[in-house]
Amino acid sequence: MRKSTFLILSFLIVMSMVLAACAPAAVATPITITSAPQVVKETQVVTQVVPATPAPVPLTYARNETLYTSGTQWGPPSSWNPFNGGGYAMGTIGLVYETLYIYDPLADKFIPWLAAQDMKWVDPTTLEIKLRDGITWTDGTPLTADDVLFTYKLADPNGDFKAGLNFAGLYNFLSSIDKVDNLTVDFKFKANPAYQEVGFYLWQTPIVQAASWSKLDVKDITGGANENGIGSGPYLFESHDQDRQVLVRNDNWWGIKAFGKTPGPKRIVDIVNGSNNVALGLVLQGGLDLSNNFLPGVATLVKGGYGVQTYYPEAPYMLSANVAALIINEQIKPLDDVNFRKAMAYAINTDDIVQTAYTGIVKAADPTGLLPIWDKYVDQDMVAKYGWSYDPAKAKQILADAGYKDVNNDKFVENKDGSPIALEVTCPSGWTDWMASIQIISKNAQAVGINMTPAYPDYGPWRDAQLKGTFQLSIQNESQMSSTPWSYYKWVFQNPIANIATAQYGNYGRYDNPKAFDLVNQLNQVKVGDDAAIKAITSQLQEITLTEYPTIPLWYNGLWSQVSNAVWTNWPSSADSANHYLPASWRGYWNMTGIEMLLDLKPAAAQ
Amino acid sequence: MAKYFRRKLLIYLLTFIIAVTVDWCIPRFMPGNPVDLIISRAGLKGSAVSQMYTFYMQAFGLDQPIWKQYLNFWIAIFHGDLGTSIFLFPSPVTKVILGAVPYDLALLIPAILTSWFAGNNFGAFAARSKRLDNTLLPLGYILTGTPYMWLGIVLAWAFGIAWRIFPIAGGYSFAMRPALTLPFIWSLFQHWFLPFASLFIVQFGGWAIGMRNLIIYELEADYSHYLAALGAPKRLVRKYAFQNAMLPQLTGLALQLGVIVAGALATEVVFSYPGIGYLILQAIHNEDYFLLQGCFLFVVIGVLLANFIIDITYVIVDPRTRAGMQGGAS
């Protein structure tokens, strides 16, 4: 038995050597096949004349033409439908389907994409969108005003489809969409439209082809897999398997002419993550060019000569993508007491979380919770007046002054009526960074006399408790960077309270403050770019968050991004000489300048 | 003989029905509603939410009474329809599982068989050999006590990252398209090797120790002493001891199957290797009733089938079973 095993093994080893010797030759041949223009011609020929001959797709992708990414897909690719919000394959929106505008959060700028020019309000209630001339779908037909009209009308509650898509909110203030000419669409709004929200939808809504989508019924539009859909973007879906999604460059993409730039990689292979450990291994092996995984301890990789680069060369290494806040259930005692919440804010040692749980790769949050991209809206006087920092002595003092005393000598304070306090702070099981964070938070709370313990339910029940309002304390980071701070304040002050379970976006603690709700609506109605008005309104909102503590902003979760310069260079970074796009492949980030990063990528050898 | 198999089949059928029922129950006792999860991930707002909610509840049949959901489950099983995955919406569960199962079979069948054969042979060889007993068997104890997860991480680190001999993720090279070519098959093998090795090593240790202890026990049995007293060569005595010791090991294999499947799950997660292991993990996190049920159904069918095969093998290798059956029949 053992003899035969050895025989088999040695045979395999010999085979391996033979094959390893063959391997470079096997790689070399396809390179000659894949010279770009040739492929395009041949695919066209194939579709028209001989369907029996498959397009010349190489068996092995040349390394210097391929970009390997990861950090977006956590299961086998299963949907290529741009309306399948959180579940579509990497790149569906941004690389395959495109939006009218893309948004640059670092420069706070809308960049016309399918649209030909900046957003133009003809009058206070009419937005005119002009499309670029010469954009084509991948089937060769032109992308026109009809497609834009069709896409936005999908969500019309009185239209043909009534599809519940995420831009359906537009219809709260939209009165009609009209085609002016083949390349022009007018959006007509009711009085006082929510300009901020409109802007938000313009860079988030993927435009789909009217000709092919109009044949689908509403179920397939919202829930179909759309496996061989026709897009307009710089990449096409090529193949997929259990552990990967492969995209190939669209060499007929309109942008090549319009921007004078061709996306660097011929192919993008997005790797499905089993775990972040595997991503770390792949980064070390040089098998990943862009990893958008959370890799704790990345500082040592950046400094240790592993060829790994992050956006900042120093702490915090990562751009800030969203704010992680302690969310508080304001419906229960003692969390309904503003003084108790205030004591918690002073009790938490955020720097310890940043250093211990995150090894310094995140930034402590501003007390306002506004992301660094919204620094210009932070009212510094207000922060100086009401802002807080870690101060356990003060936290104890606040509790004592508010009447929370330790009645039964268990070292923890009791409710004012003498009943014991036992709070639970939760995060999903397996989210190791958050688990470490809530351990620190509980320890900090206990140190000032608040009986708090961490708990780690599965993601499902954890999420359910927020929607139903049955949690006590938890961490949430749903509010991402976006074109408007309205999206952050909408998250903090989601209302009406009765709709929180269905709105599924913020205010899970059911904080009720009509004045704040009204201010959020006012903020929504500020014109895009009117920074003074935004500042005036957000300043009032900041006063509310700083004195009422509806949530306690703790740290900014990073735009996790580890890139390698081995094969591709010219990555975004904070350096003056570099570009400042977002180095991200996450859903919703290609249309926040991620795509521009691809246009600027250069093969390492060419430099 | 027929009676024996009829009785066995009945037992398997009952086990199957109970297992499927439990399988159906478990995810439904989990707290939370999976549809809420999908909608929250889609980032829907306002009226769109209730619309989508109704749509998904109907699409998944969750709006029906519980008894009807149970009945539908059985009907669907016989149609090969296991519902739609929630985690991998809108893929049908059958498609998801069929995509993953080849990897599981390719991993499990060779790992189980080779470790069993190699472990038993090595155990028999090591028994009563002082030097091996003192050196290699303690190693066997350590191996069999090793968690699959931990060994997997060590192997991945050593062979994948430190020495870079093997890849650490994926079913085949990320730079390849599946094709029937030698480089592709080689790539499949390379990616398969470490997950296989981690399963093999842990199980190998267990079987080797089990066999070594059984052989020692058998060598102390009266028939061995009698045989030795008759002057039979040592090899012959050991051969008989080995044949007798095989039987409990065969039963052990049947009992171990479930554990091995669980080990494969951990291994697949560590090596990011395709298969139902990772799917089960994600199905639990995402409250994907249908995917979870489908995966468990596959595991149940697999383990029952393997047990049945072992039952048949038992009849072949153990003459006593055959004799017993004949006695029962007459």
Nearest to A164 among B52, B167, B274 (CB): B52
Helix (H) or strand (E) holding A569: strand A568-569
C-alpha distances out from residue A431 to A324, A455, A534, A556, B285, Å: 13, 12, 35, 16, 11
Predicted ipTM of the assembly: 0.85
Nearest to A63 among B31, B161, B175 (CB): B175
| pLDDT at B185 (0 to 100) | 94
Alpha-carbon distance of A247 to A92, in angstroms, equals 10
C-alpha distances out from residue A383 to A323, A396, A539, B174, Å: 17, 22, 10, 50
Q: Which of A25-34, A70-79, B260-269, B296-305 has the lowest mean pLDDT?
A: A25-34
pLDDT tens for chain B, residues 1 to 330? 678 888 888 999 999 999 889 888 877 776 667 777 666 655 555 555 666 677 777 777 777 888 888 888 888 888 888 888 878 888 889 999 999 989 999 999 999 999 999 999 988 888 877 888 888 778 888 888 888 889 998 998 899 888 888 998 899 999 998 989 999 999 999 999 999 999 999 899 889 999 999 998 998 899 999 999 999 998 899 889 998 898 889 888 887 777 777 778 888 888 889 998 888 888 887 778 788 888 888 888 888 888 888 888 888 888 777 776 654 443
Residue A20: band (very low, low, confident or very high) from pLDDT cuts 50, 70, 90:
very low
Nearest to A271 among B99, B170, B190 (CB): B170
More confident residue, A78 or B30: A78
The residue in chain A having the minimum alpha-carbon distance to the alpha carbon of residue B181 is A59
In chain A, where the domains are located: 2-96+233-318+560-606, 102-213, 320-558
Nearest to A76 among B96, B270, B284 (CB): B96
By the 10 Å C-beta count (0-12 exposed, 13-18 middle, 19+ buried), A291 is classed as buried
Question: What residues of chain A lie within 8 A of the CB of B164, using their CB?
Answer: 285
- Mean pLDDT across A380-400: 96
| pLDDT at A4 (0 to 100) | 47
Q: Which of A23-37, A163-177, A254-268, A488-502 has the lowest mean pLDDT?
A: A23-37
The residue in chain A having the minimum alpha-carbon distance to the alpha carbon of residue B92 is A78
Residue A32: band (very low, low, confident or very high) from pLDDT cuts 50, 70, 90:
very low
Examine the pLDDT at A45 and tell me if it is beyond 50. no
What is the phi/psi pair of residue A112, to 5°? -60, 130
CA nearest neighbour of A283 among A68, A578, A77: A68
Asked if B43 lies within 8 A of A278 by C-beta distance, the reply is: no
Residue A49: band (very low, low, confident or very high) from pLDDT cuts 50, 70, 90:
very low
The token pair at B61 is 């049949």
Alpha-carbon distance of A601 to A596, in angstroms, equals 9
B179 and A CB contact within 8 Å: yes
The total number of residues written for chain B in this structure: 330
> What mean pLDDT value characterizes chain A?
88
Other Cβ atoms within 10 Å of B228 Cβ, number: 14
Share of chain B above pLDDT 90, in %: 25
| pLDDT at A14 (0 to 100) | 38
3-state secondary structure of B238: helix
Other Cβ atoms within 10 Å of A570 Cβ, number: 18
Chain A and chain B share a number of CB contacts under 8 A equal to 226
Examine the pLDDT at A50 and tell me if it is beyond 80. no
Residue A364: band (very low, low, confident or very high) from pLDDT cuts 50, 70, 90:
very high
Return the DSSP state at A566: T
Q: Does domain A102-213 have CATH number 3.40.225.10?
A: no
Share of chain A above pLDDT 90, in %: 75
Examine the pLDDT at A53 and tell me if it is beyond 80. no
CATH class, A320-558 region:
alpha beta
- Mean pLDDT across A349-363: 94
Question: What residues of chain A lie within 8 A of the CB of B169, using their CB?
Answer: 243, 271, 274, 278, 281-282, 287
Alpha-carbon distance of A585 to A93, in angstroms, equals 10
| pLDDT at B26 (0 to 100) | 74
In chain B, where the domains are located: 93-329
* DSSP for A7-67, written as a single string: HHHHHHHHHHHHHHHHHHHHHHHHHHHT-HHHHHHHHHHHHHT-TTSPP---SB--GGGEE
| pLDDT at A37 (0 to 100) | 34
Question: What residues of chain A lie within 8 A of the CB of B268, using their CB?
Answer: 274
The residue in chain A having the minimum alpha-carbon distance to the alpha carbon of residue B44 is A166
Helix (H) or strand (E) holding A540: helix A531-548
Q: Which of 8-67 (B) contact A at CB < 8 A?
A: 30-34, 36-53, 55-56, 59
B188 and A CB contact within 8 Å: no
At which residue do the structure tokens 């066209």 appear?
A44
| pLDDT at A316 (0 to 100) | 92
| pLDDT at A349 (0 to 100) | 97
| pLDDT at A277 (0 to 100) | 80
B39, B53 contact by CB (below 8 A):
yes
Alpha-carbon distance of A25 to A46, in angstroms, equals 27
| pLDDT at A552 (0 to 100) | 97
By the 10 Å C-beta count (0-12 exposed, 13-18 middle, 19+ buried), A64 is classed as middle
Question: CATH number of B93-329: 3.30.420, 1.10.3470, 1.10.3720, 1.20.120?
Answer: 1.10.3720
- Residue type at position B129: S
Question: CATH number of A2-96+233-318+560-606: 3.20.20.450, 3.40.190.10, 3.40.640.10, 3.30.9.10?
Answer: 3.40.190.10
- Mean pLDDT across A545-565: 96
Helices B276-285/B93-126 angle, 10° precision? 120
A63 and B CB contact within 8 Å: yes
Question: What residues of chain B lie within 8 A of the CB of A222, using their CB?
Answer: 52, 55
Share of chain A above pLDDT 70, in %: 90
Nearest Cα of chain A lies from the Cα of B142 at a distance, in angstroms, of: 21
Examine the pLDDT at A57 and tell me if it is beyond 80. no
CA A95 to centroid of chain Cα atoms:
15
Asked if B179 lies within 8 A of A59 by C-beta distance, the reply is: yes
- Helices of type H across A260-297: 276-285
Dihedral sign (CA A203, A204, A209, A214): negative
Model pTM score: 0.87
pLDDT of B293-317, one tens digit each? 888 888 888 888 888 888 888 888 8
Asked if B189 lies within 8 A of A26 by C-beta distance, the reply is: no
Return the DSSP state at A205: P
Asked if A79 lies within 8 A of B32 by C-beta distance, the reply is: no
- Residue type at position A259: F
A261, A254 contact by CB (below 8 A):
no
